[in-house]
């Protein structure tokens, strides 16, 4: 199995913001649009796309969350030193 992963994320400062974004996703809003509108990460301008990365390139909590997702699945809020992430696995 390849150790290359691909994911999008939305980074916000507070867990309640991440929970609000989950509600918006469940109501049918696109992950990409929400990333563009709300993410604190520069990747938000690309719909949250982080491109390909390998094990060890991301902080442990983020990497663990990605590894636990099926392709197309979105995580619950994941706390790191950067804030709260919603992560969508692309590959």
> Distance (Å, rounded) from C-alpha 23 to C-alpha 29?
9
| pLDDT tier, 1 (very low <50, low <70, confident <90, very high otherwise) | very low
| pLDDT tier, 3 (very low <50, low <70, confident <90, very high otherwise) | confident
Is residue 90 within 8 Å of residue 6, measured between CB atoms? yes
pLDDT in tens, 27-51: 999 999 999 999 999 999 999 999 9
0.85 cut: is pTM over it? yes
pLDDT in tens, 65-85: 999 999 999 999 999 999 999
SS3 4: strand
Q: DSSP letter for 21, please.
A: H
pLDDT at 75: 98
Task: Kindly tell me the burial class for residue 78, based on how many C-beta atoms sit within 10 Å of its own C-beta (0-12, 13-18, 19 or more).
Answer: buried
pLDDT at 2: 65
Domain annotation for the chain: domains and CATH numbers: 4-89 (3.10.50.40)
């Amino acid at each position: 199995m390849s150790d290359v992963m691909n994911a999008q994320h939305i980074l916000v400062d507070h867990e309640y913001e991440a929970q609000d974004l989950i509600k918006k996703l469940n109501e049918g809003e696109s992950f990409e649009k929400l990333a563009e509108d709300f993410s604190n990460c520069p990747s938000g301008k690309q719909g949250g796309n982080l491109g390909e990365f390998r094990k060890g390139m991301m902080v442990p909590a983020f990497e663990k969350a990605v590894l636990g997702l099926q392709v197309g699945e979105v995580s619950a809020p994941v706390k790191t030193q950067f804030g709260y992430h919603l992560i969508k696995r692309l590959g």
